[in-house]
Amino acid sequence: MKSWIPDARQFAYLNWKQVDALPRDKTLLVVPTGAIEQHGYHLPLATDALCADLLLGKALELVPAELPIYALPTVCYGKSNEHIGFPGTISMSASTYMAVLRDIGASVAAAGFKKLLFFNAHGGNMQLNDVMARDLRAEFGMRTFHMGASAGAVLEGLSAQERKYGFHANEVETSWLLAATPELVDTSAYTVNYIARVEDESILSPEFGAVNFAWLTRDIAASGVMGDPTNASAEKGEMWLAACAKKAAAALVAAYEYENLHKP
Ligand SMILES: [Zn+2]
Stated as kind and residue range, the H or E segment containing 264 is none
Q: Say whether 61 sits in a helix, a strand or coil.
A: coil
Query: Cα of 88 to ligand 1 centre, how many Å?
Result: 14
Nearest to 95 by CA among 133, 138, 66, 128: 128
pLDDT at position 94: 98
Stated as kind and residue range, the H or E segment containing 185 is none
pTM of the full structure: 0.96
* Spans of the chain below 50 pLDDT: none
Query: Cα of 204 to ligand 1 centre, how many Å?
Result: 23
pLDDT at position 174: 98
The three-point CA angle 81-82-84 to 5° equals 60
Query: Cα of 112 to ligand 1 centre, how many Å?
Result: 34
pLDDT at position 262: 57
Instruction: Identify residues whose C-beta is under 5 A from ligand 1, the ion.
Output: 47-48
pLDDT at position 263: 58
Query: Cα of 173 to ligand 1 centre, how many Å?
Result: 6
Query: Cα of 84 to ligand 1 centre, how many Å?
Result: 14
Which residues, in sequence order, are CB contacts of 115 under 8 Å at separation 6+?
A: 25, 26, 27, 28, 29, 142, 143, 144, 145, 255, 256, 258
